[in-house]
Amino acid sequence: MQNLPTYDDVVAAADRINGHAHKTPVLTSRTVNEDLQAEVFFKCENLQRMGAFKFRGAFNALSRFDAEQRKAGVVAFSSGNHAQAIALSAKLLGIPATIVMPHDAPAAKVAATKGYGGKVVIYDRYTQDREQIGRELAEKEGLTLIPPYDHPDVLAGQGTAAKELFEEVGPLDYLFVPLGGGGLLSGCALATRALAPDCKLYGVEPEAGNDGQRSFKSGSIVHIDTPKTIADGAQTQHLGEVTFPIIRRDVTDILTASDSELIDCMSFLASRMKIVVEPTGCLGLAAARQLKEQVQGKRVGVLISGGNIDMSRFAALLQS
Ligand SMILES: *Cc1c(COP(=O)(O)O)cnc(C)c1O
């Protein structure tokens, strides 16, 4: 097997993004603590630059380009947040960026990507293979493809979120992390095993697409059709070749949450904690609520992964 990234790579990523990414705040809520009878710490990556943790991995990966790669540019395929992360990081580092996005990507995400100066190429999420389109562009124009999760530099960057959390609040008994393709979870797993080895670490994915859970149980990567869920940041079809072995080794288990649980959490986070969180960003809290009995009396981390959602959609979901 390939050499998997280690916690040293997370530490190196933290140095590279230092001064460029925000050290996001850790929020607490008396109401949540009372509800769960636990001490809960929310790591708020919805308040990260461009509104999600993905800036960490993107900036780390682009920082490692050599002169030739910087000149030719980067290509990325993404349902949204990775696109914005690559576009913003590329702009900050003076690298041209091409982004392959689905036809139904949220308008705010497309607009933000263009706003950061990225060139956007649209494809049909249900009939075309974005990975193939990305690879063809990479070959034809000499661009370097940075995938949204299955890349050592990307996942090492994402792991800096958990590193910061543990450094700020100390060891935890539980940590709940949203799961799509597993860049965030695998990176956070490296940091967790280094900084809080006894912490129970859960990945949380949408119920409609539980490929991660099935992969974790069976020991090989399960592929599914694009799941229909409001959690658009986790509409992935499979875990990665690099992320999966780390997840299998270091993660305690994979849980799922339904769309209606996510809406409840979104509503709670907005009304009680005054923060805007996109549906995917609510996966961790939904799972912590499910494990109410286990987490009682414990120190619990919840990673809020992002906050990018059109306000009209946000309002519509809260009324649904
Ligand atoms: C991308 C994303 C995820 C999933 O991250 P992976 O690294 O693909 O597992 C979760 N939440 C948000 C907000 C995202 O943008």
Please report the atom of ligand 1 found closest to the CA of residue 187.
7
Torsion of Cα atoms, 171 then 307 then 33 then 317, to 10°:
-150
Counting ligand 1 atoms within 8 A of each CB, the residue from 77, 81, 266 with the most, and so the one to mutate, is 81
The single-letter code of the amino acid at 172 is L
pLDDT of residue 1 exceeding 60: no
E strand or H helix that includes residue 312: helix 311-319
CA of 305 to the centre of ligand 1 (A): 7
Q: What is the mean pLDDT of residues 42-46?
A: 98
Rounded Cα gap, residues 208 and 142, in angstroms: 37
DSSP three-state, residue 21: coil
Distant-in-sequence, close-in-space partners of 201: CB < 8 Å, separation ≥ 6 = 174, 175, 177, 185, 188, 189, 192, 250, 251, 252
In this structure, the number of other CB atoms found within 10 A of the CB of residue 138 comes to 19
Which residue, by CA, sits nearest to atom 1 of ligand 1?
233
Give the residue numbers marked as catalytic: 54, 79
In this structure, the number of other CB atoms found within 10 A of the CB of residue 1 comes to 5
* Least reliable range by pLDDT among 97-111, 200-214, 237-251: 97-111
- For the chain, give percent helix, strand, coil, nearest 5: 50, 15, 35
Which residue, by CA, sits nearest to atom 3 of ligand 1?
233
* Least reliable range by pLDDT among 68-72, 102-106, 201-205, 238-242: 102-106
In the DSSP assignment, the letter for residue 32 is: H
E strand or H helix that includes residue 244: helix 243-250
CA of 178 to the centre of ligand 1 (A): 7
User: For residue 79, what pLDDT is reported?
Assistant: 63
Q: What is the mean pLDDT of residues 153-173?
A: 98
Please report the atom of ligand 1 found closest to the CA of residue 181.
8
Structure-block tokens of residue 279: 């549906």
Q: What is the mean pLDDT of residues 67-81?
A: 90
Counting ligand 1 atoms within 8 A of each CB, the residue from 184, 237, 255, 308 with the most, and so the one to mutate, is 184
Q: What is the mean pLDDT of residues 87-106?
A: 92
User: For residue 105, what pLDDT is reported?
Assistant: 80
The label of the residue with tokens 């069976």 reads 218
Q: Are 225 and 176 in contact (CB under 8 A)?
A: no
CA of 176 to the centre of ligand 1 (A): 13
Quickly state the pLDDT bin for 52 (edges 50, 70, 90).
very high
DSSP 57-70: HHHHHHHT--HHHH
Measured in residues, the chain has a length of: 320
CA of 56 to the centre of ligand 1 (A): 12
pLDDT of residue 87 exceeding 90: yes
CA of 95 to the centre of ligand 1 (A): 23
Based on C-alpha coordinates, what's the Rg of the chain? 18
Q: Are strands 97-102 and 39-44 parallel, antiparallel or unpaired?
A: unpaired
Query: What digits encode the pLDDT tens for the residues 266-314?
Result: 999 999 999 999 999 999 999 999 999 999 999 999 999 999 998 999 9
CA of 182 to the centre of ligand 1 (A): 8
Any bridge partners for residue 251, and if so which?
A: none
Torsion of Cα atoms, 88 then 91 then 96 then 98, to 10°:
20
Which residue, by CA, sits nearest to atom 5 of ligand 1?
180
* Least reliable range by pLDDT among 87-96, 100-109, 231-240, 277-286: 100-109
Lining ligand 1 with CB less than 6 A are 52, 54, 81, 148-149, 158, 178-185, 233-234, 236, 278, 280-281, 305-306
DSSP 152-211: HHHHHHHTHHHHHHHHHH---SEEEEE-SSSHHHHHHHHHHHHH-TT-EEEEEEEGGG-H
Q: What is the mean pLDDT of residues 129-137?
A: 82
User: For residue 113, what pLDDT is reported?
Assistant: 85
User: For residue 38, what pLDDT is reported?
Assistant: 98
Please report the atom of ligand 1 found closest to the CA of residue 203.
9
User: For residue 106, what pLDDT is reported?
Assistant: 74
User: For residue 203, what pLDDT is reported?
Assistant: 98
Q: What is the mean pLDDT of residues 36-51?
A: 98
pLDDT of residue 109 exceeding 80: no
User: For residue 313, what pLDDT is reported?
Assistant: 92
User: For residue 138, what pLDDT is reported?
Assistant: 85
Q: What is the mean pLDDT of residues 141-152?
A: 94
- φ, ψ (nearest 5 deg) of residue 319: -90, -10
pLDDT of residue 215 exceeding 60: yes
Higher pLDDT among residues 128 and 74, named by residue: 74
Which residue, by CA, sits nearest to atom 14 of ligand 1?
233
What integer best gives the mean pLDDT of the chain?
95
